[in-house]
């Protein structure tokens, strides 16, 4: 009886392996794979591959002063305003004056980056400002081969 059970167990394993192989062969090559698709057309096969390339992320570690509304440091404020504008937070023309508009856009940036919305540009805010890629979009390339 024990011999029969071991032989049957081996047979079950073989049957499961064959069924698994058949299922894998039945799946179309492009099913569930986002990098390409395949389709038959008149006996030939067309393969389309899409590759998305993201812009490189640059991390800058420069020391910046903590600044806030009313700070007289115009070069730091100008750098801040230029960076906010580049990231889509419109402060108008960078003028080096840290006023209510700059404060509002700093708070919007901080909120969007899950930082405390204080309006004060501290080390954490500077790091987020400089680590975030400017408004550049990913490049997508699609290649079709007959």
**Percent with pLDDT over 90 in the chain:** 40
The residue-averaged pLDDT of 93-101 equals: 93
- Say if CB 127 and CB 140 are below 8 A apart: no
Q: Which tops the pLDDT comparison, 57 or 75?
A: 75
Angle (CA) 78-131-74 rounded to 5° is: 10
Q: What is the pLDDT of residue 1?
A: 59
Q: Is the pLDDT of residue 138 over 80?
A: no
Burial label for 127, CB within 10 Å (0-12, 13-18, 19+), is middle
Helix axis angle, 123-131 to 100-112, nearest 10°: 70
Q: What is the pLDDT of residue 133?
A: 73
Lowest average pLDDT, out of 26-40, 83-97, 106-120, 130-144, goes to 26-40
| 112: enclosing H helix or E strand | helix 100-112
Model confidence over 116-133: pLDDT tens digits? 999 999 999 999 999 867
The residue-averaged pLDDT of 98-126 equals: 95
Model confidence over 5-35: pLDDT tens digits? 556 666 667 767 777 766 666 665 555 555 5
Its pTM surpasses 0.75: no
Q: Which tops the pLDDT comparison, 3 or 119?
A: 119
Q: What is the pLDDT of residue 31?
A: 54
Q: Which tops the pLDDT comparison, 67 or 53?
A: 67
């Amino acid at each position: 009886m024990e011999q029969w059970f071991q032989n049957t167990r081996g047979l079950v394993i073989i049957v499961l392996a064959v069924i698994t192989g058949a299922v894998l062969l039945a799946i179309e090559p492009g099913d569930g794979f986002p990098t390409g698709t395949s389709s038959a057309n008149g006996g030939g096969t067309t393969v389309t591959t899409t590759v998305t390339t993201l812009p490189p992320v640059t991390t800058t570690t420069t020391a910046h002063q903590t600044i806030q509304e009313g700070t007289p440091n115009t070069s730091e404020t100008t750098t801040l305003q230029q960076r906010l504008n580049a990231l889509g937070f419109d402060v108008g023309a960078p003028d080096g004056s840290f006023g209510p508009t700059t404060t509002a856009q700093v708070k919007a940036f901080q909120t969007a980056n899950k930082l405390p919305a204080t309006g004060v540009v501290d080390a954490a805010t500077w790091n987020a400002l400089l680590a975030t890629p400017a408004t550049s979009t990913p490049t997508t390339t699609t290649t079709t081969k007959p």
